[in-house]
Structure 1
Amino acid sequence: MSRRTAVIGGGMAGTAAAKRLVAAGHEVVVFEAADGLGGRARSWHRPEIEPDVGINLMYVSFYPRMSALIREYGLEGDLVKISSNVHISKRGRVVGLSSDSPLDLLRYPHASFRDRVAFLFATLREVRRREELDLFDPLKTEHLDDGATAAEYGARITSAAGFDYLLRPQIEGFWNFASEGVSAVHARALLAWLGGSDFFVLRNGMEVLSERNAEGAKVRLGHEVTGLREAGGGISVGFRGGDGNEGAEEFDSAVVATPAPIAARITGGLDEAVVPAAARAFLETQEYEPALSMSYLVDPGALPKSAHIVAGGADDPPLRNMITYERTLIGEDGGRSEKLLVFCYPGRANTRRLLGQGSERQFAEVTPLLKTLWPDFPEDPRPFQAAERPYGFPIPAPGRYRASARVIREQRGPVVFCGDYFNSPTTEAALLSGYRAADALAGGPTT
């Protein structure tokens, strides 16, 4: 007789757990509060553009688990390669810096020659420790988590100014959290792995991986889980459906794959024998940097196509970064014109201030900031789509790797947890945590 398992959260981590549990013979029910799967990897879609997808997350060629899924599902033809170059802004001057080119680094004008050489040698040192510096696995990196921050590490390998225009933009330009609050392990792993990597997006959105992973499970969209409680030897899952009615259902076990604060809230009534103190403390202390994405349509030639433009410097800028993609705009008369879809992300303070304020105000306040990052930004960009995520990026603070490894080793049924907060805000880390949570329930090894 199969065991019934509830998976709470239909993002990358939850559906990875569902996939593995279905394969192990469990009857799996996925509860997802939104109207679609994918979580933070879910993209928006607009019929006015082709492809109709708003890109949210990227796939990088050194993601082994995601690479395996793309091959398994035959999605190689849907991969769209994007530029790995980062364009870094310093007082209005924007210069490209390729992670693939040492010569490009040596010509880079935003840092001193001494800092550039020091940065190159530091990168080579970390590349030699690549297997140890795993960007996704705290079981491999916990011993390196000595309390140092990324900013402290950067100031050791270069000067503080060198860090601000070499490594800081590549940390904060992708995740928007402050390097002063991030473990040095995160920065070291980036140096070890980013060079020579290829970046891609899936043509129809990253959520297709969650949708395929959930095959074989029962999926209940629009179902917000309100709480878990013990019921005999199992777990009762309380939920609110899309019609507003509340209900409860009993399961043998549960995988909680929501952001950490939500996981802490909905499991708050469970005994310490079910949720150990270390796991509860881990959930309750996880902090997030929210995300706000404002996209515009502009004419080709206004900015580089397939580019990632980020602000350099130590200060929290008004606008943190821009990412450009080529799109075809389809007019009401069926006419087609080539455009650039430009995703713009405000800095930390502006993101927090504008969150929840509505797209009209958000566009009104962000549009005047566009030229602070790209001085020649067109005068009349077309506001297109706003998207916000209060739990955007879990911050891998100093000490989190050691705490994460402890929780992973102690996970036991009937309730286990998973999410990208177990290591780094990447889809690959989410997949790994989902697989491990499923293994903890199914009695498999923690690998």
Structure 2
Amino acid sequence: MARIRKTAVIGAGPAGCTAAFEAAKTGRKVVLFEKEKAVGGRTLSHRADGHTLDTGAGFFTNFYPRLEGYNRKLGLESDVVRLSRRNVLISGDQVAPLALGSPLSFLRFPLVGTANKIRMIGRTLGRTLKYRGLDLADPSALSSLDTESIARDARRTLGEEVYQYLVRPGIEPFWYFSCEEVSRALYIGLQARAADAVFYTYANGMDSFCRKLSESVELRIGKTVTSVSAESSRSRQSGQTGKSAGSGKFVVQFAGKTERFDEIVFATTANVAARLTARMNDSLVSAEQKSFLKSQNYAENVMACYRLPHGMLTDSDTRIPCGPGPNSVAAITVNSDKRSGNSGEDLLSIYVRGKKARALLKAGKKEAFAEIRALAEKVDSRLLELPLQPFFLKQREHAIPVHAVGRYRQAARFLEQQKGPVVFAGDYLANATVEGAIHSAQRAVEALIREAGN
């Protein structure tokens, strides 16, 4: 009888939880490690005082077929909530509502001239017809479009006005990186689906997906993996295995303990994966893979959430600053748009990006709450008179992977070359979406199966 393979999955975000779920289906004994006290990674939801607040990724769309399939398989369809598509763009004193998918709202949008609107419609229709079937989660599908930045593509095809008042507000508030530094591949795919895009979340929190997937595996929650080492076959044959639990060629160290595994799935951010694999033999993790992991950059994000009495804001539209120059405030949202919480109060979240987010990463809570509110009041004057009380602060240094020009081509090559018993999963290997994380996890488990023969 064949020995059951023991697999460690490090990182319990969407990529790690998907990898653990899929690996367990093959009969492997899977142990899922997570440094936080709950699964979810960058979809983790904060629950307190009757509220459920998403601290990272806050939505998914109707063009995530992999996630849709898991929702059916896991019985999560009843938890799916449709979100409003209405945003309010703010440029100086101008406040401009824009409902995505509404031709009338688009035609009335005051920040872009008629000629440029017609130009935008023509370009969007053309790309919809050409790229509607593009798989946004697969870097190999995006590689041919990975030739220039979003900014350069938009300025060349649509002009400066459309770039500043439609393209940037459609990308930067949700992914936090700059359109100047990111490949156009993701943008073209999104543009091709913009007309009929529908946005959803989970009523019980965006981490519902990870929580459901992780039910089938053994969890090590609140356990930071500090090292992963591979023992030589000579050491194993001579019995020099120390006090590590079990058998297997890899020793995982966490919380002062060690445990042995046959296979490793690194489902962390790229910088953590780079650190944990730096000393591994090139036969397990190639020099090219190590270089790719080490060179991955991330956009920072700080979110400050405040309480306020219920009903003080008459709408729950997402407010987004736009126009030339840096916009430190990415977006201002009201939680009641997504789900009901404590009936006596609402939650208002302010998202900060760019240099200001970087400066606030190490700030104390009192300082961060005060400074972020002051920034938001300059964008949205409604906040000046609101009795906002601090509720929750999240500071993420590695919030979103930056897919610079050429990065999708490198990611595609990385996925093609990876093989067991050491594999990688994460949105840096696809794109910064739950769908991208799922795709990378599926590819990682496929690589384990190919190497092991089952």
TM-score (normalised: structure 2):
0.90
CA distance in 2, matches of 1:376, 1:216: 47
Match of 2:5 in 1: 3
CA distance in 2, matches of 1:161, 1:301: 36
Q: Shift of the alpha carbon at 1:235?
A: 4.0
Match of 1:250 in 2: 260
DSSP 3-state at the match of 2:275: helix
**Is 2:437 the partner of 1:430?**
yes
DSSP 3-state at the match of 2:382: coil
Q: Shift of the alpha carbon at 1:82?
A: 1.6
Match of 2:237 in 1: none
Moved more, 68-77 or 411-420: 68-77
Moved more, 65-74 or 35-44: 65-74
CA distance in 2, matches of 1:201, 1:305: 19
Match of 1:30 in 2: 32
Out of 356, 363, 366, the position equivalent to 1:357 is 363
Q: After superposition, where does 1:342-353 map in structure 2 within 5 Å?
A: 342-353=348-359
Q: Shift of the alpha carbon at 1:348?
A: 1.1
Letter in 1 for 2:288: A
Aligned residues: 432
Out of 431, 447, 450, the position equivalent to 1:443 is 450
Q: Shift of the alpha carbon at 1:167?
A: 0.8
Q: Shift of the alpha carbon at 1:31?
A: 1.2
Match of 1:274 in 2: 284
Match of 2:91 in 1: 90
Letter in 1 for 2:283: A
**Is 2:126 the partner of 1:125?**
yes
| Conserved? CA contact 1:13–1:431, under 8 Å | yes
| Conserved? CA contact 1:305–1:325, under 8 Å | no
| Change beyond 3 A, Cα 1:298–1:195 | farther
| Conserved? CA contact 2:174–2:330, under 8 Å | no
**Is 2:88 the partner of 1:80?**
no
Match of 1:333 in 2: none
Match of 1:239 in 2: 253
DSSP 3-state at the match of 2:48: coil
Match of 2:238 in 1: none
CA distance in 2, matches of 1:133, 1:168: 21
Match of 1:398 in 2: 405
1:302-322 Cα deviation digits (max 9, x unpaired): 545442221112322232211
CA distance in 2, matches of 1:8, 1:329: 32
| Conserved? CA contact 1:84–1:98, under 8 Å | yes
CA distance in 2, matches of 1:142, 1:360: 44
CA distance in 2, matches of 1:354, 1:416: 34
| Conserved? CA contact 1:235–1:254, under 8 Å | no
CA distance in 2, matches of 1:132, 1:60: 15
Q: Shift of the alpha carbon at 1:129?
A: 2.4
Identity percentage of aligned residues:
32
| Change beyond 3 A, Cα 1:304–1:177 | farther
**Is 2:125 the partner of 1:115?**
no
Structure 1 runs not aligned, ≥5 long: 331-335
Q: Shift of the alpha carbon at 1:127?
A: 1.0
DSSP 3-state at the match of 1:197: coil
CA distance in 2, matches of 1:329, 1:442: 43
Match of 1:61 in 2: 62
CA distance in 2, matches of 1:268, 1:370: 41
CA distance in 1, matches of 2:74, 2:364: 37
Moved more, 222-231 or 359-368: 222-231
Out of 44, 47, 60, the position equivalent to 2:46 is 44
CA distance in 1, matches of 2:249, 2:40: 25
Considering only aligned residues, what root-mean-square deviation do their CA atoms show, in Å?
2.0
CA distance in 2, matches of 1:425, 1:77: 25
DSSP 3-state at the match of 2:358: helix
CA distance in 1, matches of 2:320, 2:401: 20
**Is 2:23 the partner of 1:21?**
yes
**Is 2:175 the partner of 1:175?**
yes
| Conserved? CA contact 2:52–2:341, under 8 Å | no
| Change beyond 3 A, Cα 1:328–1:37 | closer
Letter in 2 for 1:41: T
Q: Shift of the alpha carbon at 1:85?
A: 2.0
| Change beyond 3 A, Cα 1:195–1:306 | farther
Letter in 1 for 2:43: A
CA distance in 2, matches of 1:142, 1:304: 44
| Conserved? CA contact 1:302–1:376, under 8 Å | no
Q: Shift of the alpha carbon at 1:399?
A: 0.4
Match of 2:200 in 1: 200
Match of 1:368 in 2: 374
| Conserved? CA contact 2:306–2:349, under 8 Å | yes
TM-score (normalised: structure 1):
0.92
**Is 2:389 the partner of 1:382?**
yes
| Change beyond 3 A, Cα 1:281–1:329 | closer
CA distance in 1, matches of 2:83, 2:315: 9
CA distance in 1, matches of 2:7, 2:433: 25
Match of 1:137 in 2: 138
